[in-house]
Amino acid sequence: MPTLFTPLQVGDLLLPNRIVMAPLTRVRAGSTHIPNDMMVDYYSQRASSGLIMTECTMVDVHACAFMGEGGIYSPAHVAGWKRVTDAVHAKGGRIFMQIWHPGRAAHSLLNDGEPPVSSSSKAIRHETTGTPQGAKPYEIPRALRTEEISRYVEMFRFAATNAKQAGFDGVQIHGAHGYLIDNFLRDGVNARTDVYGGSIANRARFLLEVTDAAISVWGAGRVAVRISPLVPFNDMLDSQPETLVTYVAQEMSHRKIAFLEIRHKNHALPDEQAILATARQNFQGTLMTNGSYTHETGESTVASGKADAIVYGRPYIANPDLVERFAKQASLNEVNYDRLYGGGADGYSDYLTLA
């Protein structure tokens, strides 16, 4: 019976444990989006994780949503991230880059006047986003033309290539949380009538094309995918989430990707449990799950075979030595929510370890 401390083969990588660090966007890269000394410290501090996944990382200069997330679209970004991967590897860690385009969650004030893009011209409702001019309502995105979607696929291929040059161990494609790929996946947003809209197979086409592009760079054993079929963040909804998960899981299983991550709003909810079971049934590779897990619920989930590894977010923000704390049944540091996004090392890379 596996535990969180049982090694796990994930595609081409052998993880020493099943305690995985979630992608956590902390916006410390500044206006250049180039990783800095703080980020080198932050990631290398967490190298005992079975696998680290980076914050969402921009695949293009006009793919900004947060005023300070990392980028991977230029040689300077490659060099910056190489410092991070070298530091993580020097401590024996493994690290995937999460490659990402925000889609309709972007804003023109963050992207040199370029409007946000999406599957359809539907804005995120009832929310605002931070910009250099303060909080602003989300803009109505421009629906991508059929003939230009291939250019966005190539953005992801280019990002995957740059991530490889930067020394990462693989890439995770961000298909969750209402960003560009998710704008195509879920029918609460996707109202297209072309080959990228309508049926589930059509709505998943963009994700599969991006996945195949990343596989062409890395091989399937170094590519992962994240989806969040029930998470309502960024005004998202799908009418048939279990059917969507069935199709995506089967397609990813055929491709033999390294792992599939299911991001929950809360893993304990019955509908989220059903989604995870659907993914388990239809994906034959390594399945990871993420959504308010504790040490205890993570252990029980792995032991029961419902998932193969647990992806921890908030615990990793405040506990760089989370693996060691779980091993010793030690108490956890509390998250400093006042210093969650932006700023300096305070509340980012200054959390104390047990040592």
* Residue 249 and residue 287 in contact, taking contact as beta carbons nearer than 8 Å: no
Phi, psi of 135 (to 5 degrees): -70, 135
Assigned token pair, 353 = 């370890």
Q: CB-based burial of residue 44 (10 Å sphere; 0-12 exposed, 13-18 middle, 19+ buried)?
A: buried
Q: Please count the residues of the chain.
A: 355
Return the bridge partners of 259, or none: 224, 286
Phi-psi bin for 145: left (phi > 0), alpha (psi -120 to 50), beta? beta
CA distance 210 to 226: 12
Contact 163, 99 (CB under 8 A): yes
Neighbours of 89 (CB within 10 A): 16
Residues acting as catalytic residues: 179
Distance CA 201, CA 247 (A): 7
Measured distance CA(275)–CA(43) in Å, rounded:
31
198-220 b/e (C-beta count within 10 Å ≥ 16 → b): eebebbbbbbbbbbebbbebbeb
